[in-house]
Every structure is written in C-alpha cells, then in structure tokens.
C-alpha cells in the first residue's frame, strides 16, 4: 500500500511541474518557435492561390469565400488546433498545449491547497480544482468575445480609412501598413500581421483569408470577397470599400437595435441562471454543516445531478429565445 506522504508529495509535485512547464514553454521557447516559423515561411514554395480554390466553391453557393473555407475545414480541427485558433483570436501569444499545461497546473494546485490548507472535503476540493482548471478557458472565451465585439464596432472606420488610402493612390500593401500604424488592437494588430505575411511572400488572397480565419465575421467575409473579386475583375476599390462601409454601419445599427430590444430578456435569463448558485452560497454561509451533509450524501448528489441537467436544458432554451441573429 502506498504511503500517504508519498501520495501527497506526488499530488503537489505534479501540478507544480505542469504549471512550471507551461510557463517555461511560454517564456523561453517563443523565440525558437518564431525563428523556425520564419524559416518555414521563407523556404516555402509559391502555392496555388486560395482564391482559385474558393472560386470553385463559390460557383455553387452564395456564401462569401472565407466563410466557405472555414466550413470546409471545420471538421478537420482537433482540440489543440481549435485551442490554437482561439488563442490567436484572443491575441494571446501562447500555444495550445502550453495553455493546457497551465490549466492543469492551476487546477491541481487549487485542489491540493483546498485539501491541505483549508481542510475542505475531497468533493469540495475537487470542485474548486475543476473551477480553477477551467477558469483560464473562461477567461479566453471572454477575451475573444470582447475583442470580436470591439472589432465589429471599429470595422466600418477601418474600411473608410482603407478607402481613403486607395483614394490617395496607395496600393494594397501600403494601405494595410497605414491601418496597422494608425489603429489599436484588434485591427492594428491584425493588419500588422497581414503586413508581415505580405513581406514574407504570402499572396494577397492568402493574407485576406488568414484575416477572415482570425476574425470570424460576416462583415469581414464580405470585405475579403469584395477585394478578391475586384482583383480579378477590376473596378474602383475606394468606391467598393465606401459602399461596403455604409452596409456595415447599417448592419451594426440594426444589431444594436435588436440588442436593445432583447436586453430585458437577456437580463431575465441571467437572473434565473444565477439564482440557484446564490441560494447555495447563502445556505453554505448560514448552514454550512447542513449544506456539507447534503452535497456529500449520495441522495443529495443524485438530486444535484438531476437539477443540474434540467438547469442546463433551461439555460439552452432561455438563450435560444433571447438570441436573435442579425
């Protein structure tokens, strides 16, 4: 039978090792990965244009080309690939497996500290550790949502500025450099990535479709499609961007109007979701022994599982009701 001290030491050492491994790979291996990435991009042979591939798909569909490419490849993504994409969309300079290391390490540390320092039961410590392990994922989703929201609010201004660049005689490359220099994150960052990719030899279509992958938005898909078609057929690019900017502004006005109309329903749904958790905290504060007996009893655990299942169903129904697509 294993010694209890050995199990405790192993339980503490493993999450600490995972946490430090994640920090090490994040802080000290970035410059090596960056050099290798640049070497691969420089040594890369010219590939077939992304627009050539997507135009075949567009022949039988009315969707923008970037949206079609995303749907075509969405089933090929595994967990780490999807996590890498989310980290890129959140502008976090970290790899997916490094983020997993940090999540596991943080959850393990909170679990051990809850059991050893605060004397919590195994179930409570497990819940605290699970909450700590999933909290970085929640932080990432919130950061992506805030960044995409800000990108949607500023996109019309970006189109106007890019259209003014074309009016003054700038080319596409100079235009994206101007946007990168004069806008803050997210568009300053994203257009700076486009400028770097262009300098490393990527084609205009590849750069545009990479932008649409990082910023999943219908407005960005329209922009990518408009620029790609203008490149093939010709036309006044400044006028195209001006028209697209007006369309984006009208869409955003409609979006804000719908959000204002559905705000009361969203608030009601949020209150209904939070009430059970607040009641549990209040009961734990005033009746800790009774609450601990309930959550550690098999009957109480079964009741919480049933209640949690129906609560998840109610949450899905509420969000389906208040979610209005624009």
Whole-number pLDDT of residue 179: 92
Task: Taking residues 102-129, report their average pLDDT.
Answer: 82
Lowest mean pLDDT among 1-10, 112-121, 224-233, 273-282: 1-10
Mean pLDDT, the chain, rounded, equals 78
**pLDDT tens string 14-27:** 666 666 666 665 55
58 compared with 38, residue with greater pLDDT: 38
Question: How does residue 274 score in pLDDT terms, banded at 50, 70 and 90?
Answer: confident
Highest mean pLDDT among 64-68, 86-90, 251-255: 86-90
Question: How does residue 34 score in pLDDT terms, banded at 50, 70 and 90?
Answer: low
77 compared with 192, residue with greater pLDDT: 192
pLDDT of residue 65 exceeding 80, the answer is no
Whole-number pLDDT of residue 194: 93
Question: How does residue 320 score in pLDDT terms, banded at 50, 70 and 90?
Answer: confident
Whole-number pLDDT of residue 64: 46
**pLDDT tens string 151-180:** 988 999 999 999 999 988 888 889 999 999
Question: How does residue 41 score in pLDDT terms, banded at 50, 70 and 90?
Answer: low
DSSP characters for 133-198? HHHHHHHHHHHHHHHHHHHHHHHHHHHHHHHHHHHTT--HHHHHHHHHHH--TTHHHHHHHHHHHH
102 Cβ neighbours under 8 A, 6+ residues apart: 18, 19, 22, 23, 26, 136
Contact 132, 106 (CB under 8 A): yes
Domains assigned to the chain? 4-49+63-143 (no CATH), 148-255 (1.20.81), 263-322 (no CATH)
Question: How does residue 267 score in pLDDT terms, banded at 50, 70 and 90?
Answer: confident
Contact 66, 220 (CB under 8 A): yes
Whole-number pLDDT of residue 26: 56
Q: Which CA distances in Å does 264 have to 95, 145, 198, 254?
A: 39, 20, 46, 17
pLDDT of residue 47 exceeding 50, the answer is no
**pLDDT tens string 83-104:** 889 999 998 888 888 888 888 8
Whole-number pLDDT of residue 230: 87
Task: Taking residues 113-133, report their average pLDDT.
Answer: 81
CA angle (226 as vertex; 220, 227 as ends), nearest 5: 90
Task: Taking residues 133-152, report their average pLDDT.
Answer: 92
């Amino acid at each position: 039978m294993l010694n209890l001290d050995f199990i405790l030491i192993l339980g503490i050492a493993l999450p600490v090792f995972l946490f430090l491994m994640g920090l090490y790979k994040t802080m000290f291996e970035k410059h090596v990965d960056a050099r290798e990435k640049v070497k691969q991009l420089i040594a890369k042979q010219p590939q077939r244009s992304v627009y050539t591939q997507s135009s075949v798909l567009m022949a039988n569909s009315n969707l923008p080309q970037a949206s079609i490419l995303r749907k075509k490849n969405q089933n090929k993504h595994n967990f780490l690939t999807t996590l890498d994409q989310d980290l890129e969309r959140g502008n976090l300079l970290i790899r997916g497996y490094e983020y997993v290391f940090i999540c596991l390490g943080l959850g393990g540390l909170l679990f051990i500290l809850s059991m050893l320092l605060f004397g919590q039961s195994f179930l409570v410590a497990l819940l605290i550790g699970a909450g700590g392990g999933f909290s970085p994922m929640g932080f990432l989703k919130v950061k992506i949502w805030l960044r995409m929201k800000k990108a949607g609010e500023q996109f019309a201004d970006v189109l106007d500025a890019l259209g003014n660049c074309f009016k003054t005689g700038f080319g596409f490359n100079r235009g994206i450099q101007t946007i990168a220099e004069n806008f803050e994150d997210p568009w300053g960052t994203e257009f700076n990535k486009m400028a770097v990719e262009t300098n490393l030899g990527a084609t205009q279509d590849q750069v545009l479709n990479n932008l649409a992958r990082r910023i999943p938005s219908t407005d960005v898909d329209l922009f990518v499609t408009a620029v790609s078609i203008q490149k093939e057929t010709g036309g006044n690019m400044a006028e195209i961007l001006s028209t697209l900017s007006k369309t984006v502004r009208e869409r955003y006005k409609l979006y804000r109007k719908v959000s204002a109309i559905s705000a009361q329903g969203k608030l009601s749904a949020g209150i209904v979701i939070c009430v059970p958790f607040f009641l549990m905290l209040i009961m734990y504060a005033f009746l800790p022994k009774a609450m601990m007996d309930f959550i550690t009893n098999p009957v109480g655990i079964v009741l919480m599982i049933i209640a949690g299942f129906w609560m998840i169903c109610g949450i899905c129904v509420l969000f389906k009701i208040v979610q209005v697509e624009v």
